[in-house]
Structure 1
């Protein structure tokens, strides 16, 4: 008899559903809530002691799956066997990566964070210590292979059983609280008799899994790992560079129109580009939001946004788009990218005089100008077109390049096919230094506008690379239209309004004590967490948020404690938080107080 058939024969149907329900309620407040991602499905199955492979997950979460119900979850649990000690035995025999005959902490941590319930290094060390009798941090299975593995597998299975017991207790508390709430509303006193944990509503009913409505595209795309399409080389690729700039505490960035003549599946990635002299610690988070040019029938502008990334800081999203016009809006939380606190009094030298008395730019300044040219060469063809030079000029002087000004450029430097070369760009700056007789005020205006400080270090700008791939459309157009703050969209919606609604839709809700109509939503993706306040009342509310108990986090604000005023009928992004050290575990903890 297979383990699968044995499973259904040895467990009572009611007990089986209760086990599924307890696991489900360890993640959700109600079994009426839906599983909305492949990651959530994996986590829910892990709560039941199952460790499905990627192949198994894809069987139940296909490209057309949008959500799964509790009934679907029960059906999957019925079909897929629980992980047994034999399964663990086979898996652990493969842990010895370096072939030295021992299982080290590093090796074990790798396997326990690639499959099954995720564990920290400290948790793995505790597990090793309990079975590693000689305390050398290694499990020797050459001498006693069965005993060592048996002991360790028993411990893992025991941990799973303890987790299930805890889930059952949590379910009982939730059901008790739910019952008391119902009795409070209808005025019926609680009896002493214990009610059943299994109701008729918990029993599975045949219902088709919900599929994506690709034609409407009314909901935000939820790809759950940065896994590029296998045939991506066959897709049409368009790309552009861009930058974020911090100006007077506000975010300014390159923004794009995206014209799609035909319906197509798209793949978009975005990642920061490291400056030769700039921020060089953890990468600035650079996500992208895709907006329609007009609301759909449900009033939604947002189509999709990047939530998942790889280890190099590249964020990506895949979705299906109907033919039409879209806006592609870059975004960063600002956790690693903030206004400069102060400016050093020491100033780098930009200009010097040669032996003949001619003013020339210094070697350090020349290197920075070469970088600026590369960032401003948005299509990456090695030249700066008039449009690219115009965007550069708007950023550095606030003015467009008029025809007579472009004529001066053409007269003073040699162009190649009507575009400025890097040598020509350097020549323009040397001519400016010479024309001003060594006065560097205008040169510094350019540098400050491009995000550099007095030591020629880029600390108020973050260059990025944007790549757009289309599977079924060969002539899609990605066009840079501005370098500015975010505009107002149809319906007088700000960009913050749009992303707040998205974070609310995909975040976890918690009601703020003392306010019936004030909620806080916690949204979390691969890179950061966002806290959004939603005030549905008719009065302005003052809320004090305290996130100081969070572990290993930095935020987009200077302090983890702040008081906010939330206008009636409005939403407000209170915090963005992300790990300060991405190699360590991090946790968001926040308390709210009405003032």
Structure 2
């Protein structure tokens, strides 16, 4: 009978596979919506709007506590570093996804490491010594508070089973209080979208084998689904909804060639390297440049990831990170530069632009969507050795660390001449220590480390790092700070950075450009991205909201969406990507919301294929919910 039951169950699953998948998707969507609603509830307990930013470590701690977390100093330091100025609501959601609430099993496991005889209790003297002297040290007042909890303490002993129950009860109460508070606030209650599942407009799903997408593929009219039963989605049933479907073909099926000018070898050439660095809050920092063009000329510009791999046939892991370059023209007397163009054409990992530029100064601002440059889950691996002592007890750099330093040297050698000048070295110093090396300190470097024509050599750079290790008597802590700020993991792999190279060619004159700053995504870049999407993309006005326009831009590599709000009040737009296939979003969520202030534009999301060798489909429902 058991065998027959199993057989029938298997047959049933084969008959209704799509139904099971739909149910799983609905369950997953419901879970994401509940998570997002709980994030918003906690955030609105501390702030008036999710447009407000977290501006201090204390605020981060408070809002995490309202979300039912108990953040340690180590966790707070992980997300609020010396360079952190603010965190946004999206950052908060990402932190909550990573920092799960403690479970009773985990708490009991920690206590049982102390209670080796499994008595179920710990003496106060033992507990006080541990709380005040190890790990996350507690103050005497904090220890006293724990020991005064009468319902878990008696006769000088802590019943840690009861304590765990009490602790989790308080965490749950924090979360419930936040939800109740939002529920009671009518204005906030209107923002609590995604807390229920409603029917969305029915729409068709085009097969992935559809030919290359064109502008007509941007489906503006919801179509009747082939199935008789309506599809259930978390998008609210509302007239104020825009549906967009774009079918894209796999990159491997494209046969395009690099569209270089035929006589490019005769053009004047300039080059600079740079790097995208991923910050703790998810922001991306990169070098920014200024380019001077003496006269009107045809220009060809390329940007691509920079391959540091020493192994033939094995590309560096960041080579799949998308890159782009925005070209802005400096305008006399105006603070806001004009968007001229961006590298829209693609050949493999290279992105290019070809056109004509007049004489003047231009800003070159690198950009990546962030879809493929994300925080990695750090493996539980031991720190790679950086230094060791030889037979003479002298400190020596390990071969692995020397190789990493050599790669790092190539990244910060922006002009690619094999040496580091003071400007290049200062970008490195700003990144790793936040301070510049002045002229006097540079003179000291000249006296102590190998130089060539006042520029630091590769060997000199190695010796400088060895000196730092010697100053610390072999303690590699400062060296690890340098490595991690440059995007390296404990295994000496660059996992949170993407070096790139920019090449500029001009037909009639010599273009000159150099790095002028190292900064995170600024207002200029945000405006440039929005303008490019609004200029090149398709526009759809949201039904019943004529002042809210959704722009969707499609290239071979990505799809970008921008929301323009022309009204006098802010709008909240829920984004639902549940029906997309083989896609990853820069927001890292399938269902999320974007708050757009009055008279403003906001980047909704960037989307790329998870696997470029397969076809992909962008299916997005955008609904105004507040």
- Structure 1-normalised TM-score? 0.60
Displacement of 1:226 in angstroms is 4.3
Gaps of 5+ in 2: 1-205, 224-255
Distance 2:432 2:372 in 1: 24
1:401-436 Cα deviation digits (max 9, x unpaired): 112211221121121111111111111111211121
1:304: which partner in 2?
A: 341
1:283: which partner in 2?
A: 320
2:616: which partner in 1?
A: 586
Match of 1:428, SS state, is: helix
Cα distance, 1:308–1:120 mapped onto 2, change above 3 Å: farther
1:483: which partner in 2?
A: 518
Distance 1:383 1:405 in 2: 18
**Counterparts of residues 416-427 of structure 1 (less than 5 Å):** 416-427=452-463
1:256: which partner in 2?
A: 289
Match of 1:349, SS state, is: coil
Distance 1:300 1:478 in 2: 17
Distance 2:322 2:571 in 1: 31
Distance 2:393 2:544 in 1: 74
Is the 2:371–2:606 Cα contact (8 Å) retained in structure 1? Answer: yes
Is the 1:343–1:453 Cα contact (8 Å) retained in structure 2? Answer: no
One of 386, 406, 409 as aligned partner of 2:445: 409
2:606: which partner in 1?
A: 576
Match of 1:517, SS state, is: strand
**Counterparts of residues 154-553 of structure 1 (less than 5 Å):** 226-248=258-280, 249-276=282-309, 280=317, 283-294=320-331, 301-311=338-348, 313-342=349-378, 344=380, 346-474=382-510, 476-488=511-523, 494-553=524-583
Is the 1:536–1:569 Cα contact (8 Å) retained in structure 2? Answer: yes
Distance 2:391 2:546 in 1: 77
Displacement of 1:454 in angstroms is 1.2
Distance 2:207 2:316 in 1: 29
1:242-274 Cα deviation digits (max 9, x unpaired): 100011321110111101111111100000023
Distance 2:209 2:579 in 1: 20
Distance 2:547 2:461 in 1: 57
Displacement of 1:344 in angstroms is 3.9
1:74-98 Cα deviation digits (max 9, x unpaired): xxxxxxxxxxxxxxxxxxxxxxxxx
Distance 1:295 1:417 in 2: 37
Match of 2:478, SS state, is: helix
Distance 1:584 1:120 in 2: 13
Displacement of 1:519 in angstroms is 1.4
1:14: which partner in 2?
A: none
1:104-158 Cα deviation digits (max 9, x unpaired): xxxxxxxxxxxxxxx999579xxxxxxxxxxxxxxxxxxxxxxxxxxxxxxxxxx
1:460-490 Cα deviation digits (max 9, x unpaired): 110001000000113x2111111112445xx
Cα distance, 1:408–1:543 mapped onto 2, change above 3 Å: same
Distance 2:498 2:337 in 1: 30
Displacement of 1:516 in angstroms is 2.5
Match of 1:582, SS state, is: coil
Is the 1:120–1:585 Cα contact (8 Å) retained in structure 2? Answer: no
- Structure 2-normalised TM-score? 0.57
Distance 1:416 1:286 in 2: 33
Match of 2:551, SS state, is: strand
Is the 1:242–1:376 Cα contact (8 Å) retained in structure 2? Answer: yes
**Counterparts of residues 561-572 of structure 1 (less than 5 Å):** 561-572=591-602
Is the 1:520–1:533 Cα contact (8 Å) retained in structure 2? Answer: yes
Distance 2:267 2:301 in 1: 12
Cα distance, 1:464–1:123 mapped onto 2, change above 3 Å: closer
Distance 2:591 2:293 in 1: 45
Match of 1:496, SS state, is: helix
Gaps of 5+ in 1: 1-118, 125-165, 174-223, 489-493
1:15: which partner in 2?
A: none
Match of 1:338, SS state, is: coil
Cα distance, 1:428–1:235 mapped onto 2, change above 3 Å: same
1:537-579 Cα deviation digits (max 9, x unpaired): 1111111110121121111121121012111111111110011
Cα distance, 1:570–1:446 mapped onto 2, change above 3 Å: same
Displacement of 1:507 in angstroms is 0.7
The CA RMSD over aligned residues, in Å, is 2.8
Distance 2:581 2:533 in 1: 22
Match of 1:366, SS state, is: helix
Displacement of 1:443 in angstroms is 0.6
**Alignment pair present for 1:555 and 2:588:** no
Displacement of 1:357 in angstroms is 1.1
Cα distance, 1:484–1:281 mapped onto 2, change above 3 Å: closer
Distance 1:538 1:230 in 2: 52
Displacement of 1:498 in angstroms is 2.4
Distance 1:291 1:529 in 2: 22
Match of 1:309, SS state, is: strand
Is the 1:226–1:315 Cα contact (8 Å) retained in structure 2? Answer: no
